[in-house]
Amino acid sequence: MVSVWATANRLVLGQRKVAAKSNEITAIPELLQALDLCGCLVTIDAIGCQTAIARTIIDQHADYLLALKANQGQLYDDVVLLFADLVASDYRAYAYDHAVLYDKGHGRLERREAWTISDPKVLAGLRHAADFANLTTVMMVRRERRIGTKVSVEWRYYIASCQLRAAQLLRHKRSHWGIENSLHWVLDIAFREDEARLRKGHGAQNFAILRHIALNLLQQETTCKSGVFNKRLKAAWDTDYLLKVLATLFQ
């Protein structure tokens, strides 16, 4: 199942089952076309970095921020070389924007640093950049994670159709993982989704839809300050609270 997660509203907007013997690349455009995305910024990991998906997002009057990896070989290589040239020139070769964000918690310290280039003359020299509709910005992100004395560093690259400041794109990139922390992890822990044994017919798909609906309702009910798991228990024990949760359908 491919899901669309609204980070700001903490809602599942839709989902689409991946066809047998297929993958997310074919399901993502169908799901995007079913939504009103006007004015939104759509973030997708590397599997969604496809020209058809970028065009679908632009046709929906939205913008994209897509992770760029070796699946887009020549474009990826050129973006890597572009930022390597920028660093080698002591940041004089091209006009760029820069931002740093810190994140601390659970015994770790993360430092994220981003550089963006939006000069159309520079981007025009990237192979296959013209194949991605409205490609306006490329971004390099350096993530340094410290846990005790252990230090790890990762470099990531992105393409975007919007010309935002580096700090804004870096925050959007960070919020992309809300679908893992606020959706997939919650479905596993609070709903025990990974332990579901439904296999026959459309049972697995139907119950995935019901879990998403239940999660949306529980997320929107704010009078109880407990987590989703405890809200589920409270709804099972207290009919008045259950009705309050269901009432969010009509707000």
pLDDT in tens, 211-223: 888 888 888 888 8
β pairing state of 137-147 and 150-160: antiparallel
Residue 6: inside a domain: no
Average pLDDT score over residue span 103-108: 81
Question: 3-state DSSP call for residue 104?
Answer: strand
Across the chain, which distance is largest between two alpha carbons, in Å?
Answer: 66
Same domain flag for 115 and 154: yes
Same domain flag for 113 and 207: no
Residue 115: inside a domain: yes
Same domain flag for 119 and 218: no
Task: Report the domain count for the chain.
Answer: 2
- Choose between 2 and 142: higher pLDDT: 142
Count of Cβ atoms closer than 10 Å to residue 242 Cβ: 14
- Residue 110's domain comprises 66-176
pLDDT band for 15, please (50, 70, 90 cuts). confident
Q: What is the mean pLDDT of the chain?
A: 88
Average pLDDT score over residue span 26-30: 86
Rounded Cα distance between 139 and 119, Å, is 12
CA distances for 163 relative to 43, 125, 149, angstroms: 15, 18, 38
Render pLDDT for 144-189 as a digit per residue (tens, 0 to 9): 999 988 999 999 999 999 989 999 999 998 887 766 776 777 778 7
Same domain flag for 104 and 137: yes
Beta-carbon contacts of residue 11 (< 8 Å; ≥ 6 apart): 5, 216, 219, 220
Q: In this predicted structure, what is the pLDDT of residue 178?
A: 66
Task: Return the minimum-mean-pLDDT range out of 7-21, 102-116, 216-230.
Answer: 7-21
Contact 244, 223 (CB under 8 A): yes
Q: In this predicted structure, what is the pLDDT of residue 18?
A: 79
Amino acid at 88: A
In DSSP terms, which residues pair with 111 in a beta bridge? 102, 144
Residue 75: inside a domain: yes
Q: Which of 146, 176, 206 is the last residue of a domain?
A: 176
Render pLDDT for 199-211 as a digit per residue (tens, 0 to 9): 788 777 788 888 8
As a dihedral over the C-alpha atoms of residue 218, residue 221, residue 225, residue 227, rounded to 10 degrees, the angle is 10
Q: For residue 212, what is the enclosing H or E element?
A: helix 203-220
